[in-house]
Structure 1
Amino acid sequence: MNKHIVSAICGCLFFVNGFSQDKNIGELLNEIEQNNTELKGYQSFIESQQLENKSTNNLPDPQLSGYYLPFGDNATGNYTEYEISQSFEFPTVYGSRNKWNDLKSIQLQTSYSKKRQEVLLDAKTVLIELAFFQKQKDIETERRTQSKQVFDQIQELYNKEQVGILDLNKAKIAWIQEQFVVEQIESDIQILLTKLKTLNGGNVIDGVTSSIALPIEVGTAESLWQEKLAKDPLLQELKANETSSLQKIKLEKNKVLPNVALGYNYQGVSGSNYSGFYGGVSIPLWSSKNKVKAAEANYEYQQSNTQVVTTSLYTHFQETYNRYELMLEKFNEYQTTMSNLNSEQLLFKAYMLGEYSFMDYYVELQFYRNASDKMLQMEKELQLLQAQLLKHQL
């Protein structure tokens, strides 16, 4: 494994050729995080939800009521009464609900972390694909130049009547195909740059033209999984949901306690009046029915959901890690075999020296080009798999 990692680290220098020397990938992702419109909007949503949650723990509004009764026989004078009162839940309810609100804030933060991870993983994927196309463009541009040289040479031989029209047409088609490939890659690059601009809040990301290194080592499966358990936003969200639902049980149990009302009352009849304190108790016999059971059932669901999602996530993680290991091994074999061949250049020189006919040259060339393209494609897939395995680090 260590041998594979060392050679793969060397290989990553071959792969990435699409970013500024002044900005590493972390700086680029940080810039996107700061400017991304979706994340900014989600932060505003979280703030509004936190304020709304806090408002649920406010006291009810004070109540002022009064009576003035001038009708009737009024033998003792007109009757006047007013009362001002403040009702509130049992004091322990507010402390329990405040803890629940704090836990819901943590839930919102883990939800934001998950959304942030999705955005940055999308951005990292685009950056990896952009690097792949930049490298591919350099290769195809060189191939286009060689195809033009071959076509020019065959055109000259055709003019001298040393080759037939079929060879000339084949050489021209090969050159036209290479031109199209380069143009298609340039179009793909522009699409990716537009997507990056969108992810960056409509701002162009400067300096995505030179190389940065993307390390390819990911560590052992066990150590990586333990790291994901501690840091992955999805797993943190599941834990936050559990903790919050457990606190909801405590809150609902506290809400079974009676509500209280305190106030001041005045009653008066002409020349005589009474005033004093008012107190009342509201026993929540009906409003709290089944709420504790519902909260307990929700807690059991959250525990079960955490276990199910964690198991599913671990299965997916193992599949991705195994694919990564297998592809890394195959990539290293490809790289070891092809690193010193320099086959395309040697074939081109041999053709220019007349050692190959055009058809022999073209057939041999396609074989090595397909192998080279396959290795480059494998390297891109390795980087994408690595991004999936290490997304909890974003």
Structure 2
Amino acid sequence: MYKKTAFALCVCLWSYISFAQTSGIKGILQQIEQNNSELKALREYIKGQKLQLKSSNNLPDPQLGAYYLPFGEHTTSDYTEFQLSQSFEFPTVYGLRNKLIDRQKDGLTLEYESKRQKILMEAEQNLLEVIALNKRNALELNRLKQAKTVFEQSKELFNKGQTGILELNKAKVAWMQLQFVVQQTEVQKRNKLLKLKSLNGGKELVVLESSFTEDLDLPQKESIWRDRLSGDPELRYFRQEEAIAEQKLKLARNKLLPDLSLGYNYQGVSGNNYSGFYGGLSIPLWNNRNKVKSAKSQLSFRQSNTNVQTQIVYTSFEEQFNNYQALLKKYLEYQATLEGLDNESLLFKAYKLGEISFTEYYIELQFFHEAYDSMLEMEKQLYQLKATILKHQL
């Protein structure tokens, strides 16, 4: 009995720990990476492409040829001949092509990493939206509760003849408006969860967080950029394309060397036969014409493109970083001004005591609500912008 109870408790505890580990942003992103249909398909595609690249360096098939010449006027026996041969490119070509294939495989891996980053970035942005909506929903529910209290207070004052029907109707409309806001927030949250479900291969995801757990600090701009240069698949892809072009140039130069053939030959006529080894080589006059020049042009383009694209990415990164710093400064000013204030309670107290009318109470309340909502919107934008700046860490 006790063993069964202990076992059940262990299972529950393990389930709770597992859920806690996967319910956070990192855990959910891991689930999405495993379950995303597009990434699954891309993994299979890349697996096939790598095998195809590997097969491109195989030797050509051996050739077997035979002659049997019984026709025509001749006094000797029929002529027979057969030959078995194997042709191949100059040996150094295979080694260089293997290096090129390795570079191309790395390029396919970077293609997958780039797609993975894009999908996880989209998922993280949606997760941050859901967390912000959870936080917003808790706030709106509290405001709704307060609006209901104000409406009931207005009804009580109306029954006592201390306020008019217009004030009562205003309080009711304000309460109804907040009900609609809560409903809208719920709909927005459901839509974001549907998007996350789609990214998770059709599997449901639970996002319980109603506050952002990470801080808003960022490392130094130069430090982030150094990490991005070495870790961001988008930037690594350009350098990889440059390395592939360089390897193609080396291969094109080596393909100027002649192809070789080796084999065995047999000839038989009039009871006599001859057999021995066969050897041959190609004369590389036409097949590789202009291919080296073309490879040089491709390498030059890739080198220029790497510099241009890196500069474009850096300019975008710098703009994002500057926008983040400006928004963070504004957010901290709002936070220092609004947090710790009890304006809503003070306003309600003044309204309850009859010191201000409902119209005055509502106008002042809306002012503080809009200011606090702006602060929450800035907070969400900061976390989303931070995620974009640090996307190379995904």
Say yes or no: TM over 0.5.
yes
1:91 and 1:178 map into 2 onto residues whose CA distance is 78
The residue aligned with 1:54 is 54
Q: Which residue of 2 aligns with 1:79?
A: 79
- Computed over aligned residues only, the root mean square deviation of the Cα atoms, in angstroms, reads 1.7
- Residue 133 (1) aligns with residue 126 (2): no
- 1:28 maps to 28
Matches within 5 A, 1:339-378: 339-378=339-378
* Structure 2 letter corresponding to 1:370: E
After TM superposition, list the pairs within 5 Å mapping 1:1-394 onto structure 2.
Answer: 23-206=23-206, 208-209=208-209, 211=211, 213-394=213-394
CA distance in 2 between counterparts of 1:328 and 1:206 reads 29
Structure 2 gaps of 5+ residues are 1-18
Q: Distance in 2 between matches of 1:67 and 1:22?
A: 72
Question: Deviation of residue 154 (structure 1)?
Answer: 2.2
- Equivalent position amino acid for 1:114 in 2: S
Q: 1:21 to 1:152 in 2, by over 3 A?
A: farther
Kindly state the Cα deviation for residue 163 of structure 1 after the two structures are TM-superposed. Answer: 2.9
Q: How big is the shift at 1:36?
A: 1.4
Q: Tell me if the contact between 1:24 and 1:212 (Cα under 8 Å) persists in the aligned partners.
A: no
Q: Secondary structure at the match of 1:275?
A: strand
SS in 1 for 2:205: coil
Report the equivalent of 1:9: none
- TM-score (norm: length of structure 1): 0.91
| CA displacement, residues 250-283 of structure 1 (integer Å, 9 cap, x when unaligned) | 0011111000111111111241222111111112
With over 3 angstroms needed to count, the CA separation of the structure-2 counterparts of 1:345 and 1:75, relative to structure 1, is: farther
Relative distance call for 1:210 and 1:385 in structure 2 (3 A) is closer
Whether the aligned pair in 2 keeps the contact of 1:20 and 1:211 (CA below 8 Å) is no
- Offset, 1:307: 0.5
Corresponding pairs, count: 376
Where structure 1 has 5 or more consecutive residues not aligned to the other structure, the ranges are 1-18
* Structure showing greater relative contact order (alpha-carbon pairs closer than 8 Å, 6 or more residues apart): 1
- The normalised TM-score by structure 2 is 0.91
Aligned CA distance change for structure 1 residues 49 and 22 (closer, same or farther; 3 Å): closer
Identity of aligned residues (%): 52
SS at match of 1:257: coil
Q: SS of the residue aligned with 2:261?
A: strand
Report how far residue 155 of structure 1 moved. 2.8
Task: Answer whether contact 1:21 1:210 (CA < 8 A) is retained.
Answer: no
Q: Distance in 2 between matches of 1:322 and 1:47?
A: 41
Using the TM superposition, name which of 155-164 and 369-378 deviates more.
155-164
Q: 1:335 to 1:126 in 2, by over 3 A?
A: same
